[in-house]
């Protein structure tokens, strides 16, 4: 980022400083593609929400649909446009039979349009539960129906391999240790989008944020495999056993394909909001639902879509583990959760 700040010029300017900035920008673009193993194009955005907006506004598709458990930003864009909603099963997996029915209807309705039939948005790893969707199976259904598949990889990029079956992918830098306010829409082919003019090959208006872009590329390159050392999360396995013994709910037990870096857990005797306050006073940051919607008092739409009752949902908190999480922090969270659940002051 310091290198980007030193090149204080618009990458689209023809003068020497502008050309220097352009060279750095394109170098970062290639670095992002290489780090993620992405064979297509990269459009830099101001974050995941901006990438989603770009996809929904500019995709060359007749119809749009989303999974019922998508992030709030995806839901707001899609629902504003009257997009269809495909339900999820109680284990958090998208209902593939309903997805197939929707894609078939969209294909029949737009059989002669010459465009892609629909844009289908599915989150790779859910931001509230940590459940991972089977993107390969989803892609087969969407593509057989003549559609485009948009996959929100904000929670998986830098941690897991990108789903190569996706036509478009959303990433967000701060989810893998990069700066806040920068992300990208990855696109297999620019022909899948309508150009708007301006920057980013004519697909996004606004001067590129070069320092943040360089920071994102560097953060991706620095992501370790595995994302966290296995011993960091070992205390979580013991906590899960004790949660069950105490009558709490470890949501990963119910998920189709749980992942390690996001966990949802319900305490048997305390509301989620009360837990949040106590953890906060102890210097531990947790949330109810995704961070972007945790300021509301509404029941999580993700838990609701999975059929989880209001009482259980109200006692559920979400805890996530980042690139800089260490084992003592995890141990402290587990210790405090158990004290709270047992009523120990």
Give the percent of the chain with pLDDT over 90. Answer: 82
What is the pLDDT, as a whole number, of residue 166? 98
pLDDT-derived band at 299 (thresholds 50, 70, 90) equals confident
Give me the mean pLDDT over the 120-147 stretch: 97
pTM score of the predicted model: 0.93
Q: Which of 34-48, 76-90, 130-144, 145-159 has the lowest mean pLDDT?
A: 76-90
Angle, helices 210-222/16-36, rounded to nearest 10 degrees: 30
Where residue 26 falls among pLDDT bands split at 50, 70, 90?
A: very high
Q: Residue 178: pLDDT above 90?
A: yes
pLDDT of res. 111: 58
The domains of the chain, with CATH numbers, are 2-222 (3.40.640.10), 230-341 (3.90.1150.10)
Using the predicted structure, report yes or no on whether residue 294 has a pLDDT greater than 50. no
Question: What is the rounded CA–CA span in Å between residue 291 and residue 26?
Answer: 32
* pLDDT at residue number 19: 93
Q: Taking all residues of the chain, what is their mean pLDDT, rounded to a whole number?
A: 92
Q: Phi, psi at residue 149, to the nearest 5°?
A: -110, 115
- Higher pLDDT: 147 or 5? It is 147
pLDDT at 72 over 70: yes
| Res. 250: pLDDT tops 80 | yes
pLDDT (tens digit, 9 = 90+) per residue, 271-289?
999 999 999 999 999 998 6
């Amino acid at each position: 980022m310091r290198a980007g700040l030193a090149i204080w010029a618009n990458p689209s300017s023809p003068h020497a400083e502008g050309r220097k900035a352009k060279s750095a920008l394109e170098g970062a673009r290639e670095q992002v593609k290489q780090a993620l193993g992405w064979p297509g194009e990269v459009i830099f955005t101001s974050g995941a929400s901006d990438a989603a907006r770009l996809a929904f506004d500019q995709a060359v598709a007749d119809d749009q649909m989303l999974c019922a458990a998508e992030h709030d930003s995806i839901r707001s864009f899609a629902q504003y446009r009257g997009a269809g909603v495909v339900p999820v099963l109680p284990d958090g997996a998208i209902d593939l039979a309903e997805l197939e029915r929707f894609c078939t209807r969209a294909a029949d309705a737009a059989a002669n349009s010459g465009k892609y039939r629909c844009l289908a948005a599915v989150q790779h790893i859910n931001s509230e539960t940590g459940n991972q969707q089977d993107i390969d199976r989803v892609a087969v259904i969407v593509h057989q129906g003549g559609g485009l598949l948009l996959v929100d990889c904000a929670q998986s990029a830098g941690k897991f391999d990108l789903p190569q079956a996706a036509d478009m992918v959303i990433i967000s830098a701060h989810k893998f240790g990069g700066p806040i306010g920068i992300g990208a829409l990855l696109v297999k082919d620019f022909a899948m989008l309508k150009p708007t003019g301006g920057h980013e090959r004519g697909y996004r208006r606004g001067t590129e944020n070069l320092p943040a872009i360089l920071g994102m590329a560097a953060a991706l390159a620095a992501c370790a495999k595995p994302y966290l050392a296995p011993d960091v999360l070992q205390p979580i396995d013991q906590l899960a056993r004790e949660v069950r013994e105490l009558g709490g709910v470890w949501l990963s037990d119910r998920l189709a394909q749980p992942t390690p870096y996001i966990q949802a857990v319900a305490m048997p005797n305390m509301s989620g909001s009360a837990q949040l306050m106590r953890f906060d006073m102890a210097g531990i940051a947790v949330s109810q639902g995704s961070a972007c919607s945790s300021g509301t008092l509404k029941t999580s739409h993700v838990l609701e879509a999975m059929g989880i009752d209001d009482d259980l949902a109200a006692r559920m908190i979400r805890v996530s583990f980042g690139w800089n999480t260490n084992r003592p922090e995890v141990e402290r969270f587990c210790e405090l959760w158990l004290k709270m659940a047992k009523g120990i002051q």
